[in-house]
């Protein structure tokens, strides 16, 4: 029996939710270029697209936005858990535990209402946990704000800047879906047993916690901090390349050409560069680095990846590093739940085989 380590290249399901083509730099959500959706639409609209299969009209958008907003409040059981959980517990572990607790309220088969409920409440769990760890009182959701704006508001208690809302909105849209990645596969495996959606999403969070999957653009932020300003960029990057250092935020395992998510975030960042000095620095560093990489490593096709511009956004909105992966997770709940709704329609339990390599009895 042939084995494929890591299941690379093995087709585990058919899907019409999203398509990732690394060779050609394509990321597609239900027939639309994800990079175009990130620039021109709001989070709620793309959640509707992934769940329902089409972009909402004006009336549908209004109703759908209200349904998401009305589901943000923490259930009493989750609030009690968060009030008693150790403050030193990492937020991703808190999030996984809180979602698992919700499984008692969910049942098979998964529904759109369950997907809406989970997506709406996850940012509240993150913000509540973060502020609790700082010894600060939680901030209740503001249902008059958009999904993205409300998340920033619950973290700080301040009305967020429009430029920051727009940038984070694009990032969250681009984080919603990325094919049959490790966490999405984990979620579909759990749901295939006819377990509930909350348990499946909790399993996905467990996969996202791993540094080989969720990761964080922390090292990119450190690089931008070290460069400091545009005047130092070329000299700093040349020195790094001559030392043989890797430039953080360039190159990607999947994308062998330009990362479409990075292209979308670049577009947003360029449009907002006059509103925030960190966006302006990021645009300059990227252009300088691309030119120097071609000079020092010709033909390597090392382009900016999504982490580079994610770092500029996180730095601009002053999001602390411990919230990077949780924020990415909050975005991905939409994609996970869309896959779970799809899995339930054609469900068959995942049951791969293994090759026994141990000894045989005498």
> In the structure, what pLDDT confidence band is assigned to residue 90 with cuts at 50, 70 and 90?
very high
What's the mean pLDDT in 160-177? 92
Cα separation, 25 vs 16, in Å, equals 18
**Given 252, 263, 286, 342, the catalytic residue:** 252
Active site annotation includes 307: yes
pLDDT at 242: 93
Reported as a single tens digit per residue, the pLDDT across 272-296 is 777 778 888 888 998 999 899 889 8
Supply the DSSP string of 210-268, one letter for each residue.
STTTT--THHHHHHHHHH-SHHHHHHHHHHHHHTTPPPTTB--SS-SS--HHHHHHHHH
pLDDT at 145: 97
- Pick from 6, 13, 11: which is nearest to 340 by CA? 13
Could you say which DSSP state residue 194 is in? T
Which two tokens mark 265? Answer: 């975030």
Yes or no: domain 16-350 corresponds to CATH 3.40.50.1450: no
Cβ-defined contacts of 40-44 (< 8 Å, 24+): 41/173, 42/146, 42/147, 42/148, 42/169, 43/146, 43/147, 43/148, 43/169, 43/172, 43/173, 44/68, 44/146, 44/147
pLDDT at 22: 72
Residue 232 burial (CB count, 10 A): 13
Q: Is the confidence at residue 213, as pLDDT, over 80?
A: no
**What does the domain layout of the chain look like in residue ranges?**
16-350
Active site annotation includes 252: yes
- Parallel, antiparallel, or unpaired for β 26-29 and 18-21? antiparallel
Cα separation, 182 vs 40, in Å, equals 29
> In the structure, what pLDDT confidence band is assigned to residue 203 with cuts at 50, 70 and 90?
very high
Cis peptide leading into residue 109 (ω within 30°): yes
What's the mean pLDDT in 315-335? 92
Reported as a single tens digit per residue, the pLDDT across 234-273 is 999 999 999 988 888 887 656 566 777 888 888 887 777 7
What's the mean pLDDT in 18-22? 85
Contact 148/169 with Cβ under 8 angstroms?
yes
pLDDT at 214: 66
**Given 177, 263, 307, 342, the catalytic residue:** 307
């Amino acid at each position: 029996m042939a084995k494929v380590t890591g299941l690379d290249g093995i087709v585990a399901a058919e899907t019409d939710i999203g398509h990732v083509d690394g060779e050609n730099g394509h990321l597609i959500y239900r027939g639309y270029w994800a990079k175009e959706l990130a620039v021109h639409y709001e989070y709620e609209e793309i959640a509707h697209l992934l769940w329902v299969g089409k972009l909402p009209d004006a009336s549908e958008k209004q109703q759908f936005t209200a349904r998401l907003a009305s589901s943000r409040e923490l259930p009493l059981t989750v609030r009690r858990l968060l009030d008693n959980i150790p403050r030193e517990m990492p937020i991703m572990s808190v999030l996984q535990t809180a979602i698992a607790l919700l499984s008692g309220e969910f049942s098979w088969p998964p529904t759109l209402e369950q997907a809406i409920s989970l997506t709406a409440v996850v940012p509240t769990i993150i913000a509540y946990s973060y502020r609790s760890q700082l010894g600060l009182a939680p901030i209740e959701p503001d249902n008059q704000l958009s999904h993205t704006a409300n998340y920033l508001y619950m973290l700080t208690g301040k009305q967020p800047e429009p430029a920051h809302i727009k940038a984070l909105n694009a990032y969250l849209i681009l984080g919603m879906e990325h094919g049959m990645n490790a966490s999405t596969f984990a979620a579909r495996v759990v749901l295939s047993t006819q377990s509930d959606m909350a348990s499946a999403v909790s399993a996905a969070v467990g996969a996202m916690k791993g540094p080989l999957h969720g990761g964080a653009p922390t090292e990119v932020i450190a690089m931008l901090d070290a460069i400091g300003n545009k005047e130092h960029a070329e000299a700093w990057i040349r020195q790094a390349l001559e030392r043989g250092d890797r430039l953080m935020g360039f190159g990607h395992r999947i994308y062998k050409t330009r990362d479409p998510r990075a292209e979308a975030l670049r577009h947003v960042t360029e449009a907002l560069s006059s509103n925030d000095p960190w966006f302006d620095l990021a645009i300059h560093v990227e252009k300088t680095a691309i030119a120097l990489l071609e000079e020092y490593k010709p033909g390597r096709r090392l382009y900016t990846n999504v982490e580079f511009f994610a770092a500029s956004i996180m730095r601009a909105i002053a999001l602390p590093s411990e919230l990077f992966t949780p924020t990415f997770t909050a975005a991905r709940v939409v994609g996970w739940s869309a896959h779970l709704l799809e899995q339930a329609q054609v469900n068959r339990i995942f049951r791969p085989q293994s090759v026994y390599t141990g000894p045989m009895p005498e």
